[in-house]
Amino acid sequence: MKQTYTNEQVRRCCTAYANGQSVSELAKKLDIPKSTIYTWIKHEQQQLEEQCEKLPLKSYRLLEQKVKRLENTIEILKSVLPPASLPLHEKVKLIEQLQKKYSLRMICDALGFNRGTYYYRVLRDNQTLYEKRKEELKPLVQKIYDDNHQVFGAEKITAILKEQGEPITVPTVRALMHEMGLLSVRLTAKTLYDREHKKPPMNLLNQQFYVEQPNQVWVSDVTQFRLNEKTYYICAIIDLFARSVIAYRIGMRNSTHLTKSTFKDAYETRQPKGPLLFHTDRGANYRSKAFCTYLSSLGVQQSFSRSHNPFDNSVMESFFASFKREELYRTKYRSEYEFRTAIEKYIEFYNKRRPHRKNKYKSPYQKEVEFFSKQKDLNQKEN
C-alpha cells in the first residue's frame, strides 16, 4: 500500500532542507525515501518560481533589497564577532554546541568554516585520544604478560585489566599485543622455538662484548619513535667488533617480518664466512618459529638476554640512547620522508665519522678498514 503524507509533513521537510539539512539526514530522521523527498523539493521549488513570476515588480525589488541587506549584515557580523578570529579548536567546540540546534551545513556557511576541515579535526582528535589511550595501556599489558611468564593471551590479560579497574575489550588487548609483538606461549600451539625444543633460551654471549674480528657476534634490538600520531619501529643490527651498524629497517609494526628482513639485509651485505652468534632480547619477534628456523638454516647460533636484564644487551641499549639523544629527540620532523632521510644520514655519520671510545676514538668504519688492511698485509707476507 502506497504511503501518503500530509501537506504539513511535506512543508516541514522542505523547510528543514531549506534550513540546511541534507536529504540523507532527513530521510534517516523521518524514515522517508530519498526519492520522495527530492520530488517534494522539486515541487516546492517550482511553486516558488511560479509565485515569483506572479509577484509585482515592486515586491520583487523589495525582496531583493532585503536579501542583499541580510547578506551584508552577515558579512559585517562575520568580520567583527569572535568566531572569525577564534583558534581552530575553539571553533570546533562552538560548532559542536550549535549542532544541537542547527545543521552542520548552515553553521559552517554562517561561520565561513570548511566542513571538510571540521570533519578532519574531529577525526584527528578522536585518533589522538585513541593513540594516547594505547600508549597508557601498553606498559600495563607488558607487565601482566611478563609477570605471568608470557603465557597469558588476550582474554586472560583483559580479565586482569578489568579487575584492576581498566575498562577494555579483548579485541583491543589482542590488537595491542599484536602491535607489541607479544605472543602467548601455549604448550599446544608450539609457536616459540625454545618451547618446541623443550629448552629455555640461552644467554651464550654472557656480556662478553669484546670480539677479535668482524662477523663473529652481531647484536640487535628494536626501539620505537612517535611521529605525527604514528608509531614507527626501528630495528638495528650492530657488529660487536667495531660497533658498526650493519643493517637497519623502519616498520609500522614490531613484528617477525621486521626483524627477519633486517637480518636478511645484514647477512646479504656482510656474507659472514665463519661461525656467527646473534644476540637479542627475548622478544617474540626474535623467538618466533619463522625467525629461529631462518637463522638455523644459515647456521647462525642464537643467544638471548636474561629476563629483565638490559645489561645483557647493553651495546644496543647504548646505541639507541645515543641515537635518540643526538638525532631523534633533537629534531622536529615535518614528514615521514624527512624522518627516514634523517635516520639514514645519522647511521652514515655514526658509522663513518663519529669517534667511538671502544675503538680508541676511531669511527667503526676506520676500525674495520684498519683490520682488513692488516689482514691483507698478513696474507701477502704469507704468500
**Lowest mean pLDDT, pick from 67-81, 127-141, 143-157, 205-219:** 67-81
Name the 3-class secondary structure at 212: coil
191, three cell numbers: 609457536
Domain shared by 365 and 223, yes or no: yes
Q: Residue 270: which CATH number? A: 3.30.420.10
Domain shared by 155 and 199, yes or no: no
276-303 residue pLDDT tens? 999 999 888 999 888 999 999 999 999 9
Average the pLDDT over 88-105 and give the result.
72
Domain shared by 200 and 143, yes or no: no
- Report the pLDDT value the prediction gives residue 54, as an integer from 0 to 100: 60
Does residue 142 or residue 20 have the better pLDDT?
Answer: 142
Assess if residue 103 is contained within a domain. no
Assess if residue 244 is contained within a domain. yes
Report the predicted TM-score, pTM, of the whole model to 2 decimal places. Answer: 0.51
Average the pLDDT over 354-366 and give the result.
90
Domain shared by 245 and 178, yes or no: no
Name the 3-class secondary structure at 191: coil
- Report the pLDDT value the prediction gives residue 373, as an integer from 0 to 100: 85
212-234 residue pLDDT tens? 899 999 999 999 999 888 899 99
Average the pLDDT over 157-177 and give the result.
86
Which helix or strand (DSSP H or E) is residue 217 part of? strand 217-227
Of 131, 160, 184, the position where a domain reaches its end is: 184
Of 27-41, 71-85, 162-176, 346-360, give the range with the top mean pLDDT: 346-360
- Report the pLDDT value the prediction gives residue 17, as an integer from 0 to 100: 80
Assess if residue 86 is contained within a domain. no
Domain shared by 173 and 207, yes or no: no
Q: Which domain holds residue 131?
A: 122-184
Residue listed under C-alpha cell 506572479:
54
Of 142, 164, 184, the position where a domain reaches its end is: 184
Assess if residue 51 is contained within a domain. no
Residue 159 CB partners (closer than 8 Å, separation 6+): none
Domain shared by 171 and 289, yes or no: no
Domain shared by 224 and 299, yes or no: yes
Domain shared by 212 and 166, yes or no: no
42-56 residue pLDDT tens? 888 777 766 666 656
Residue 17 CB partners (closer than 8 Å, separation 6+): 23, 26, 37, 41
Share of the chain above pLDDT 90, in %: 29
C-alpha distance across the termini of the chain, in Å:
103
Assess if residue 104 is contained within a domain. no
The domain tally of the chain equals: 2
Of 160, 184, 208, the position where a domain reaches its end is: 184
**What is the rounded radius of gyration, in angstroms, for the C-alpha atoms of the chain?**
33
Assess if residue 105 is contained within a domain. no
Domain shared by 232 and 363, yes or no: yes
117, three cell numbers: 576541515
Domain shared by 160 and 126, yes or no: yes
Beta strands 217-227 and 276-280 are parallel
Mean pLDDT of the chain: 81
Domain shared by 210 and 270, yes or no: yes
Assess if residue 40 is contained within a domain. no
Domain shared by 335 and 296, yes or no: yes
Q: In what order do the strands lie in the sheet with 276-280?
A: 244-251, 230-239, 217-227, 276-280, 300-304
Which of 274, 258, 156, 153 is CA-nearest to residue 218? 274
Assess if residue 272 is contained within a domain. yes
